[in-house]
């Protein structure tokens, strides 16, 4: 019962360094999401994907890139880390019936346990 | 764009007393509404959702929520709180059509006092 697995769980970076956060899900979900969680701000959507090979921008995409080369994996990249990107990052996935667009968007999202990223 | 307001930062309740966590929302058209719970150092866990129909929705761990369209509210309730209910609770909304983004509230910290 792995669900959504995020790697790594913790990381400390220096300003300007790059890194990739990995998210893997074993539920065969089409939709995957990357969020950041900051105190008092809830969750904000960074990027999301509606299927293999597709990605789209969320609320706060600047400074991040993503890729979805395989259906089960969704990668989040920081090309040049900045202190403002210190946060807890959550990956999520959801089942959305194919071909229905927004009509059946009532499925819950399944979250990983997060990656705690500090940028000095 | 859809949005959620959770007006209280922290809710303190004595064990065994009723627990209410408030949520109001804004969305174009009809909403899908969700409650999630987050325990320390863990991801969000789904509690319950409102799609349509009966305004009272029952979910996991004895929680329920009441949808009120006229007040655009979706308050989370539990008749008798447990110490283990101490966690961070998030309300979320998305519209039936169009932009599928799920909008989260800021979260409410619930502290159940033994």
A105 vs B45, B94, B104: nearest CB: B94
pLDDT computed for residue A104 by the predictor: 52
Q: What is the mean pLDDT of residues A53-73?
A: 95
Q: Is the CB of residue B98 less than 8 Å away from at least one CB of chain A?
A: yes
Distances (CA, A) of B86 to B13, B34, B40, B91: 10, 19, 10, 16
Beta bridge partners of A43: A37
Tell me how far the alpha carbon of residue A92 is from its chain's centroid. Answer: 6
User: Does A42 contact chain B (CB < 8 Å)?
Assistant: yes
pLDDT at A4 over 60: yes
Contact A114, A88 (CB under 8 A): yes
Task: State the pLDDT at residue A106.
Answer: 79
Mean pLDDT of B64-92: 97
Q: Which residue has the higher pLDDT, B52 or A72?
A: A72
Look at B8-12, B43-47, B92-96 and tell me which has the smallest mean pLDDT.
B92-96
Q: Which of A54, A108, A111, A113 to mutate to test the interface with B (most CBs of B within 10 A)?
A: A108
| pLDDT recorded at residue B99 | 60
Q: Burial level of B112, CB count in 10 A (0-12/13-18/19+)? A: buried
Region B93-101: mean pLDDT is: 76
How far is the CA of A86 from the CAs of A41, B23, B46, in angstroms? 14, 28, 26
Report the percentage of chain B scoring pLDDT > 70: 97
pLDDT at B28: 86
Q: Is residue A76 scored above 60 in pLDDT?
A: yes
Q: What percentage of residues in chain A have a pLDDT greater than 70?
A: 92
Inter-chain residue contact A114 with B42, CB threshold 8 Å: yes
> Is the confidence at residue A101, as pLDDT, over 90?
no
In this predicted structure, the answer to whether residue B91 has a pLDDT above a threshold of 70 is yes
Rounded to whole angstroms, how far apart are CA atoms B112 and B109? Answer: 10
Does B35 or B28 have the greater pLDDT score? B35
Question: Which has the higher per-residue pLDDT, A51 or A73?
Answer: A73
Q: Determine the pLDDT at residue A13.
A: 96
Q: Is A45 on the interface with B (CB under 8 A)?
A: yes
Chain B residues 23-42 with a CB less than 8 Å from chain A: 32, 34, 36, 41-42
């Amino acid at each position: 019962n792995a669900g959504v697995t995020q790697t790594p769980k913790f990381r400390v970076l220096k300003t300007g360094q790059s890194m990739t956060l990995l998210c893997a899900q074993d539920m065969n979900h089409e939709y995957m999401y990357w969020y950041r969680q900051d105190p008092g701000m809830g969750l904000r959507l960074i990027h999301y994907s509606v299927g293999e090979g597709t990605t789209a921008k969320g609320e706060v995409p600047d400074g991040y890139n993503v890729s979805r080369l395989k259906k089960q994996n969704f990668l989040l990249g920081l090309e040049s880390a900045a202190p403002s990107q210190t946060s807890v990052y959550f990956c999520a996935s959801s089942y959305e019936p194919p071909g229905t667009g927004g009509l059946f968007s009532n499925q819950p999202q399944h979250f990983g346990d997060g990656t705690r990223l500090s940028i000095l | 764009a859809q949005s959620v307001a959770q007006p209280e930062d922290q809710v303190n309740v004595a064990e065994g007393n009723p627990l209410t966590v408030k949520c109001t929302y804004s969305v174009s058209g009809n909403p899908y509404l969700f409650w999630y719970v987050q325990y320390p150092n863990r991801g969000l866990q789904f509690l319950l959702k409102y799609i349509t129909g009966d305004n009272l929705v029952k979910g996991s761990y004895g929680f329920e929520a009441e949808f009120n369209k006229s007040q655009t509210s979706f308050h989370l309730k539990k008749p008798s709180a447990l110490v283990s209910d101490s966690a961070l609770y998030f309300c979320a909304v998305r519209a039936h059509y169009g932009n599928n983004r799920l909008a989260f509230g800021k979260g409410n910290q619930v502290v159940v006092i033994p």
